[in-house]
Structure 1
């Protein structure tokens, strides 16, 4: 499996050959006009290759999967269609099976903060033959990725596979995603130290691509643990086929959706949003921070779906081959509060989590909740 190059403008120095690559922080129905910059290097409604304009999408909240979950962050489905959910502040992992929510264990050593704690979760692609669950979490000294066994309804036998990721009260990144190549991808933040993002020796402000043992995946640029740099705070990762997309918190002006090209530099802290600066890769879409402050993303039916925290909305962005193929559309604006994580469920729906118990909102009855969202055209 090959990571495809982005269709966005790239300079020769920012792009590496892909043939060898195998498999400010903190809004239905109604379609809000997106505050997306038009000064973009991306395609318009029709891509240069002649891809047809995407069919309009409609999202409907079909029900509530769970209530009373405290600051849900990572969410990962198991082969039996149940799901594991990480609670950021408590460090607990909970199982959602049908209408039941059950605690399956607590990750040791979690030190929660304004944006730190138990963050991303990922299930081993060979589960249950390899009965492992991976977690990204903050300690008092760093951010780490650990592997746990998940058997008989319990997580156990923690093993840290990678540590030393910069940590602070904010800008911890934290999303985990297995790629179609079988390797584990992790989005990190700059740990509130801007130079980390450009420092090749730091794991901060990067997208990591590692083995399940925590080593650099084969053919990573320069043999490093990471495949891209110049990120401020990567909060969402999603694959559309072999193309990786990433959502990123901006500082004061622009939040970003990037199509990731291995070896590329995404500009932080020199630039924020679309800059057309030589040697820097531009996002395929950008938003005012008040309309997004993005967290989790997922891909389904030709769209990247992106949850917004401060923006309190779910964005639907049509994409193809690393390009945006139409205007983003906002759903559920201000209806459910802060939205943290969105994942494509096995039944074709989306699971969408609120984040109103994270200290930056007034919780509503039942918060935090996980909503089931159906997609129609």
Structure 2
């Protein structure tokens, strides 16, 4: 069973390296999966957990606001052990929850918004080459952050669909066969609008959404444009790359969110979410010209010409570098390629 700790009315037990199990004196139980190992979880955080849980159980209801969405969680008087969660505003849905599910979501709603807002803003405004700083900052907060994947599992079991609106962006988030999908009904004229035109042209009306992003969308801590750096963005860019670089088919291999390219220079890895480019594990700094944003157009045979959102433009730009390195003219990039080429590693993907 492992060590147990008594905190107020609760017995706290380790249920794995990232999971706590809390059992109340009256038998109420809640499982709290975390994003990372809980070995550094502070006793103060445990005390906060039990205080918030006790207050919710005693009151039988709570309200919260995340972004433009108001949430109301209430125990149903006529259905023992059943709670009702209502979201209105930027996100709209109604679901019934078991007590353990309600307690988990309540704690997630009350988590600090520092990671959701401050670091998300940092990510959008920071070049890819500085993303490591963001990851380091996330480590400061993640020890007490509850797992969005666990939250997503609750929604998979309870939700059919939700309606989301952020500015001009309007979307329907669906659960089908235990997977999340998003249907963009409106996207405006910005980055999301450009992305939607591409997806529509490729007949991708229903786009996949990761469990983590789906949970954040449903709890009001993410916005519809975030799909550009999620599964939806990866899927659309894979389709475009296959169409634009058919003559390089033998050099390309897709591995999850990465495009891997093998040629005489070594092994290139392109992150299809962010456009990060590595050659032989060496990170190449690829910066666009002023105003520091990748832009461009592509022509897809039989479909027309499309203006690209900046994420997709970046991915296509670095893919061109990886697939046609001999055509690179920029002196800085050429020097980085020479440096990375010296680090050539013979692996099990390509033997040069």
Rg comparison, structure with higher value: 2
- The structure with the largest strand share of the pair is 1
Q: Which has the higher contact order (CA 8 A, sep 6+)?
A: 1
- Give the TM bin, normalised by the shorter chain: under 0.3
- The structure with the largest helix share of the pair is 2
